[in-house]
Amino acid sequence: MPDDPSDAAVERFLDRAESALDSYDQGYADADATLATLRTHVDELSASVEESAAADSDDRSDDEDPDA
């Protein structure tokens, strides 16, 4: 089980990418559809990682002592 939300996002991406490639390999999807699907999954992964990084940054700034 992933400890970090970005770990879960990477696992989800890998599962979805593998599924898209399997569909292509089996002839259920053409190359253009497969690339579009993969691009969507890459965009989702990127957004998830950025959100996770922003949340980490917010958590760190909450820990800072404003009087220091």
Token representation of residue 24: 């292509």
Report the domain count for the chain.
Answer: 1
Check pLDDT > 80 for residue 60: no
Residue 1, pLDDT score: 45
> Does residue 61 form part of some domain?
no
Q: What is the pLDDT of residues 3-24, one digit of tens each?
A: 677 788 999 999 999 999 999 9
> Does residue 37 form part of some domain?
yes
Count H helices, E strands: the chain?
2, 0
- What's the mean pLDDT in 42-52? 92
For residue 59, name the pLDDT band (cuts at 50, 70, 90).
Answer: confident
| Crossing angle between the packed helical segments 31-63 and 5-25, to the nearest 10 degrees | 180
> Does residue 67 form part of some domain?
no
Its domain, for residue 21, covers 5-56
Answer yes or no: are the C-beta atoms of 34 and 28 closer than 8 Å. no
Closest CA to 20 of 41, 47, 44: 41
